[in-house]
Structures are given as structure tokens and as C-alpha cells.
Amino acid sequence: MSKAPATSLSAVNDVTRDAVTAGSEARVPVCFVIDTDASVRRFLSLILHGAGLNTQEFAAGAALAAVLAKRAPDIVFLDIALEFAEAVKCLIELSDNNYRGQVQLISNRGAAVLAHVKHIGEQHHLQMLPALKKPIDPHAILNVLQQLKLGHASPTAGRIALDEALNNGWIEFWYQPKIDLRRKQLVGAESFARARHPQHGIMMPDAFMPGATETSLIKLAEYALVCALKAGLSFAKLGVNLQLAVNISASALGKVRFSEILQTYRPQFDKWPGLIIDVMEEQLVTDLARVSDIARELKQLEVNFAIDNCGRRYASLLNLKELPFTEVKLGRDFVADCAASKVNAPLCKTIIDLAHNFGSVAVAIGIEKASDAMTLLRMGCDYGQGFLLGQPMPEELFASLLRQRAVGQDRQSFERERLTEPAEA
């Protein structure tokens, strides 16, 4: 493979260290989640971590007193179960510990019960928010956090140059969970670039990617690889061995120093799952022969390919069968409303079947609705990503979520209350 413009790996490492340090300086808000249903606790934790909060989960209020003595959360999500005496007991415990944060009630009980419990909290001088009904809408949770100014601030709409962001150590990578739809387990994560600007705050790729030079794109790709390899090792130390995916443009593939980076940063343990490189379908079909050669070379280094955003060029997708790839990712435009759309549904099914015929895994990206997730599952889709299953989150928050999961017996389980419908053959 051709060489990238001279940028030492030590320089890339310095950027990595600076970004991690900058990202860890701010205090992360904490939420206590109290619910007897483990699937609800996991669901809430996924959404809250993606929104920029750490969580601590409780099946009941018995352990609450000891924890409150050590730290006070910024907000408490409290379930009102069939027997709501437990919820009342938790409210009294919070009051006795002079808790001054917000209390968010969640329940599928009737309005009279919700009003009664909320009134009890107010009598004990707690700040009670309007209750949220189950099943909980992720957007409703984010609205609450936005009103309270907890978690990530809304991304700014300014513009900065990618070179400037890289040179100043503003670029960091956030990780979005990839979920096995049938087993309801975490199987991997995809990294996404963000810029943490000292004045503007968090900035999305559309604020720093337009107009980027080839040199800066290659530098970004190499930085992403180094960060993913380091993150994978950190996650493995928590007992969760994940395959991470990195987005790299087809034009940069032949100029990225894969061999050198892997030799320096590859985690040294027997069951390392390797990496996945996501390349857009429309980029692959324009230079298939060159990308195929690179893909075969990288496969020897335990780096596999995913064809990203599939569906726009279905006819050309048939020509990709010679490319050694392990995943086919359905484009979000076709995943959206696939439960109801007479256009999107058959297209999704066709691509899922095609992926399986190629011996690959089908991944749906951009899942936002439970109905779409269940439809994709019935179609045979293997994995899913999207707002419904967890937003991209900073590495430290993703690690915190994994650490919390590793405490339980089902350490990689991300079972969801909305994904319990039996799968159809």
C-alpha cells in the first residue's frame, strides 16, 4: 500500500492523549435508575449514557441509602410498580438524605396513582417532574435532560477546519452500540468523529469535514484506527471483547499505514476480534478492483470490511460479491419506516437476503422505531444500530456502561423491553 504523508505515530498518539485528557476534565452528571425490571434499567442506561450521563442502577431502594451517603445524583428515574409502596419508600429515603436533585417518575400505572405518588414526593420537599408513561419514548427522556441542561449540550452549527481540529487535539471518537437483534446482546460498536471545541463545545462532522484535504482525511483515518485499537483493549480489560468499526473513505484506504499502526497498537490477546472498516457502497463501486486488493491484504491483518449505506445502487451491489466483506449495512433511508413502507420493506428484505447469500451479516443502521426493529428482526436482519438501541457516546461513558454491565451475570446483555416479541422464521 502507498504511504501516507509523513505524520509520525507518536504524533498521532499525542493527539489521542490530549483528546482523552480534554474529554475527561468535565464532570459527568449521574442518574440513579430504580426499577425492578432489568430490561427497563438497561434501556434507560443506554439512552442516558448516549445523552452524556453516567448511571447507577437499582432493582429496589434497599441499597439506596448507602449510596446516597457517598454521592448525590443529578436526577433519579424512579419506577412506580404495581405495589407502589416501594416507590414511596425511595422518596422518603431521598428526602431523609436531603436530596436536592430532580425525581423523574416512570410507570404504566393510571393517572390517579401517578398523581398520588408525585404529591407524596412534593410533601417531602422533593423536586418532582411530570411522570413519563411506559413504554418510554427515548425522545421524551432527551427532552427532560435538555430542559434540565444535563448531559451533552446540543451540537453547535459553526464551522472549523479538520486540520485545525486535528492539530489542536479537538477530535475525539464516540462509540455507538451494535446490537444482535435476535439475542438482544451487544456485539460491537462503531466509532464516530466529534470535535470538542474550547468555545463552541461538541461539533458534529458536518462542522469540520466539508472541504477537508486528502492529507487531513488520511490523518483522521489513522487517528481513528489508533483510538479504536486502544479503546478495544480498554473494553476487553472490562471483560467485554468487542469488534469495533471505523469509517474510512475508499480514496484514503491505500494510503493509510495499516501495517505500521497494527504492529504498534494491536491488542496482544488471543481472542482479539479484529477491526471492521466501513466503506460507503457508492465509493466502492467506482474503484472495486483496487479496493478488493486492499481488502484481501487487510484480511491477513484481521481487518475486515463492511459495505456501508447499501440500497442506493442495488444493481452494482451484485458486483461486490468478489469483495471479501463481513457485513452489509442497510442505509438509514430504507430502514426508516420499513414496518409500514411498501417501498422500503421489500428493499430491506432483498438486501438482507443478499447479504446472507454472500455469507455476510446484515446490519440495519438508523433504527429509531420499535416497529421497524421488530420488522427487521422478522426479515432476518442480524444486527442493528440507531437511536432506539443507543446513541454514540464518548469512550469514557461507553466504558462506564460496559463496566456496569460486567457487574451482572449477563454482562453483555442489552435486552430491551420493546424487543421481546418472538422472532418469526
Q: CB within 8 A of 65, min separation 6: which ones?
A: 93, 97
pLDDT in the model for residue 316 = 59
Q: Is the bond into 394 cis (omega within 30 degrees of 0)?
A: no
Tell me which of 258 and 3 has the higher pLDDT: 258
Bridge partners of residue 307, in order along the sequence: 279, 328
For residues 238-254, give the mean pLDDT.
91
Instruction: Tell me the pLDDT band of 313, cut-offs 50, 70 and 90.
Output: low
Distance CA 142, CA 137 (A): 9
Instruction: Return the CATH architecture of domain 29-148.
Output: 3-Layer(aba) Sandwich (3.40)
Distance CA 207, CA 197 (A): 11
Instruction: Tell me the pLDDT band of 200, cut-offs 50, 70 and 90.
Output: confident
In whole numbers, what is the pLDDT of the chain averaged over residues? 85
Which DSSP helix (H) or strand (E) runs through 321? none
CATH class of the domain defined by 9-24+156-407: alpha beta
- Dmax of the chain from CA atoms? 71
How do residues 81-103 score in pLDDT, each as one tens digit? 867 888 999 999 999 999 999 99
DSSP letters for 91-116: HHHHHHTT--SEEEEEESS-HHHHHH
How do residues 138-151 score in pLDDT, each as one tens digit? 889 989 999 999 98
Q: How many residues does the chain have?
A: 425
Q: What SS3 class is residue 31?
A: strand
Domain ranges for the chain:
9-24+156-407, 29-148
Q: Is it true that 9-24+156-407 and 29-148 share their CATH fold?
A: no
Return the DSSP state at 173.
Answer: E
